[in-house]
Amino acid sequence: MAIEVGKIRNVAVIAHGGAGKTSLVEAMLFDSGSIDRLGNVEDGTTVTDYEPEEIARKITITSSLTFCNWNGYRVNLADTPGFINFLEDTRGCLRAVDGAVVIVSAISGVKAETQKIWKYASEFEIPRIIFVNKMDKDNANFARAVGEVENAFATEALPLQLPIGAGENFGGIVDLIKMKALTFDSGKAQEADMPSDMADEIQEYRKKLVEKIAESDDALLERYLEGGALTDDEIIKGVKEGSLTKRFIPVVCGSATRNISIPQLLETIILCLPSPEEMARISPVKGINPRDGKEVERKPSPAEPLSAYVFKTIADPFAGRLSIFRVYSGSLRADSNILNTASGARERVGQVFYLMGKKQISTQVIGPGEIGVVAKLKETYTGDTLSDDANPVLFEKVKFSDPIISYAIAPKSKGDEDKVGTGLHRILEEDPTLKFQRDEETKEMLLSGMGQVHLEVTLDRLKRKFGVEVVMKTPKVPYRETIKVAAKAQGRYKKQSGGRGQYGDCWLAIEPLPRGGGYEFADKIVGGVIPQQYRPAVEKGVVETMKEGVIAGYPLVDVKISLYDGSYHTVDSSEMAFKIAGSMALRKAVQEAKPILIEPIMKIEVITPDDTLGAVIGDLNSRRGRVQGVEPQAGGNQKINALVPMSEMLTYANQLTSLTSGRGLYSMEFSHYEELPSHLTQKIIADREAQKKEKAE
């Protein structure tokens, strides 16, 4: 039987890598009785980090779904990645939840990754609460962490709890709503006396909390200003309303690894984060009816037609493709037929399951607001909508960021090319931020992703799941050849052997076009000096030579070529002869026209903390970059806009991580082509000649 919609909370746990997300989810599962043993990340024994690559690296690489029951509520939890290479996976999960717990470390505060994930949560209008973690560590500072939250997220942070002590002296919390002190032993809370040395601090924070709640209601404010008190129920109601409307962000604290204040966090989730019903009131669920193009709304009710969104795919070599979905309306039942509105395919649903990490728990029905998984849908992928055939709806897909780094890959064993392609296409089904293609120009297999670690993890998976090993190499940069001045040249091809010979003769004029101008061919033959039937062959020879390049083996671009003179032989001329003549004329003309190489220039956006701004700019300058501007960002960060050659950015991800101690972020996209400096051009031409010589030998 489906769970009552008002009793569901769909929650993502989000933060930078190492903040304690997986440990926090583990503690919530343990305290709620979902698991009977508390696992830990160091030993690789947690419910949600179960992939071998995650256990080996001790980081969350892919979002994992689990759930717990707490005081009659179902809390569905998404443990999400915080490492920069895997944040797009987190973004995909945020599309399917109604609220988020943002972990902020009591030691290191807000990091750049957390700010990026915060933006994703804002994109989907998700209410959030803050959990200040690691209060048990040395140098933990609750007030500093709260200040950083307000500064970085430009939102008012409202503590609902205060820590009792910090570091090794951290032993409990003060509940500012109920005005109770709690201490903890093995996750269990006991009431204690209010710490006398915190009396002033407690009163100050309690006053701030009550004032914030009173401000939201004229009647309450009037009573408060006249000296009246607010009841606990009024404060609780005000906290919920303020959180759901994002007027402020509630803050609680604790320690995930020492299991302190985790039950109180679960209670805060239920109070401050919305049920699917409440979320639908804040942000109604709307899609398009693909049959008539009209907008339709879906309410989280079992009486409504089925609508579900597939937000994640897992490629399992044994179980087949697993589609993880969120039901927005109606119910998805085992042994039913549904419509994939994105592809138009009709799918047969076999069993449906809840997920507890990698464990699948069979059920008969997944109701509105719930999250579940179904195996072996034939034509369903991440971002697809599943709906009732009679009442179709199509939800908007999440648009994931484009990859920022590419490597050339080659199988270690000859003949494994097909296995590489098959395996990677399966992995691509579960990771929309990967791209795999064969570069027609360089003949390389290119794998592109969000960073070097992302690609290394992908290749580890390829080996583990599909039994094929590959090597990674830096890919070739797509340089182009072009010219600086106009020139003319003759191509004359004459071959005489016994019988019929070969004869083709043409004159070409070549001139530069503006950057990005491509290629133009003009037939300016007058009076039939070359018959009409041979002229297309000249262009064919020109086009083939342009693809191969003239000076360094890169395609020739941004040129206008005119065929203006030539001669022919009535017997010996042929299309082949004129094609060769066209190629010869172009090669000669290019050599006379001051040929150059041009390189792709990337538009770069780098987010860096203030204290590493100088080092990052210095590094960009050393990469022949041109900084276009610097803009201050929230949370003590700066945004650098720059133009940098692609060849200098191939290993940038690792360097930025090193310069900023993992706090920097960057994105890049192609901007335009520019002339390559002559000393680099000479080096590339020399390398090309050496390769040709090697092949000839």
High-pLDDT (> 70) share of the chain, %: 98
Sign of CA pseudo-dihedral 257, 260, 266, 269: negative
507: confidence class by pLDDT, cuts 50, 70, 90: very high
Amino acid at 599: E
d(CA 436, CA 439): 10
With a cut of 90, say whether residue 627 has pLDDT above it: yes
With a cut of 80, say whether residue 329 has pLDDT above it: yes
Which of 473, 503, 519 terminates a domain? The answer is 473
- At residue 614, the pLDDT reads 96
Same domain, 372 and 351: yes
d(CA 648, CA 300): 51
Paired residues of 523 in beta bridges: 563
**Half-sphere CA count of 274, side-chain side, radius 13 A:** 24
In this structure, the number of other CB atoms found within 10 A of the CB of residue 14 comes to 30
Angle of helix 575-592 relative to helix 535-548, nearest 10 degrees, comes to 50
Which tokens sit at 451?
A: 């960073």
d(CA 184, CA 179): 17
CATH code where residue 321 lies: 2.40.30.10
Question: What is the arithmetic mean of pLDDT over 624-649?
Answer: 91
Which tokens sit at 349?
A: 């649903």
687: confidence class by pLDDT, cuts 50, 70, 90: confident
- At residue 189, the pLDDT reads 87
d(CA 469, CA 466): 9
- At residue 1, the pLDDT reads 64
The total number of structural domains in the chain stands at: 5
473: confidence class by pLDDT, cuts 50, 70, 90: confident
**Residue 383: Cβ-neighbour burial (10 angstroms; 0-12, 13-18, 19+):** buried
Helix (H) or strand (E) holding 652: helix 652-660
Which residue range is the domain that position 634 belongs to?
598-679
* DSSP reduced 3-state for 627: strand
- At residue 695, the pLDDT reads 73
With a cut of 80, say whether residue 442 has pLDDT above it: no
State the residue for tokens 């996750």.
187
With a cut of 70, say whether residue 498 has pLDDT above it: no
Same domain, 356 and 435: no
Same domain, 164 and 75: yes
Predicted confidence (pLDDT) per residue in 354-389, tens digit: 999 999 999 999 999 999 999 999 999 999 999 999
For the sheet with 128-133, list strands across it.
64-70, 73-79, 8-14, 99-105, 128-133, 249-253, 157-159
304: confidence class by pLDDT, cuts 50, 70, 90: very high
Predicted confidence (pLDDT) per residue in 155-179, tens digit: 999 999 999 999 999 989 999 999 9
Phi then psi dihedrals of residue 587, to 5 deg:
-60, -45
Q: Residue 199 falls within a domain, yes or no?
A: no
CATH code where residue 59 lies: 3.40.50.300
Same domain, 25 and 68: yes
For the sheet with 172-175, list strands across it.
161-164, 172-175, 180-185, 188-192
Question: What is the arithmetic mean of pLDDT over 322-341?
Answer: 96
Q: Residue 392 falls within a domain, yes or no?
A: no
Same domain, 486 and 582: yes
With a cut of 70, say whether residue 491 has pLDDT above it: yes
- At residue 441, the pLDDT reads 66
Predicted confidence (pLDDT) per residue in 265-290, tens digit: 999 999 999 999 999 999 999 999 99
With a cut of 90, say whether residue 91 has pLDDT above it: yes
- At residue 256, the pLDDT reads 94
- At residue 476, the pLDDT reads 79
- At residue 89, the pLDDT reads 92
Which of 593, 617, 644 terminates a domain? The answer is 593
Q: Residue 652 falls within a domain, yes or no?
A: yes
- At residue 144, the pLDDT reads 94
d(CA 147, CA 106): 11
- At residue 501, the pLDDT reads 86
Same domain, 569 and 617: no
In whole numbers, what is the pLDDT of the chain averaged over residues?
Answer: 91
Same domain, 519 and 604: no
- At residue 112, the pLDDT reads 76
CATH code where residue 607 lies: 3.30.70.240
Q: Residue 534 falls within a domain, yes or no?
A: yes
Q: Residue 484 falls within a domain, yes or no?
A: yes
* Residue 452 or residue 9, greater confidence: 9
Q: Residue 400 falls within a domain, yes or no?
A: no
Asked if 212 and 158 touch (Cβ cutoff 8 Å), the reply is yes
Q: Residue 259 falls within a domain, yes or no?
A: yes
pTM of the model: 0.79
Same domain, 91 and 190: yes
High-pLDDT (> 90) share of the chain, %: 68
Considering only CA atoms, which of 113, 244, 254, 130 is closest in space to residue 183? 254
697: confidence class by pLDDT, cuts 50, 70, 90: low
Same domain, 507 and 585: yes
- At residue 481, the pLDDT reads 96
Predicted confidence (pLDDT) per residue in 538-575, tens digit: 999 999 999 999 999 899 999 999 999 999 998 899 99
Q: Residue 512 falls within a domain, yes or no?
A: yes
- At residue 666, the pLDDT reads 85
Q: Judging by DSSP bridges, how do beta strands 180-185 and 352-356 pair with one another? A: unpaired
Same domain, 409 and 514: no
Q: Count of residues for the chain?
A: 697
Phi then psi dihedrals of residue 547, to 5 deg:
-65, -40
- At residue 668, the pLDDT reads 80
CATH code where residue 438 lies: 3.30.70.870
* DSSP reduced 3-state for 3: coil
Same domain, 177 and 60: yes
Considering only CA atoms, which of 102, 95, 186, 195 is closest in space to residue 145? 102
**Residue 666: Cβ-neighbour burial (10 angstroms; 0-12, 13-18, 19+):** buried
SS (HEC) of 394-456: ECCCCCCCCCCEEEEEEECCCCCHHHHHHHHHHHHHHCCCCEEEECCCCCCEEEEECCHHHHH
Of 232-241, 586-595, 649-658, 678-687, the range with the highest mean pLDDT is 586-595
Same domain, 58 and 128: yes
**Residue 152: Cβ-neighbour burial (10 angstroms; 0-12, 13-18, 19+):** buried
d(CA 76, CA 60): 18
Q: Give CA 394 to chain center in angstroms.
A: 23
Question: What is the arithmetic mean of pLDDT over 640-668?
Answer: 86
- The DSSP string of 187-223 is TEEEEEPPPGGGHHHHHHHHHHHHHHHHHT-HHHHHH
Which of 331-335, 347-351, 429-433 comes out lowest in average pLDDT? Answer: 429-433
**Residue 473: Cβ-neighbour burial (10 angstroms; 0-12, 13-18, 19+):** exposed
Radius of gyration of the chain (CA): 32
CATH code where residue 527 lies: 3.30.230.10
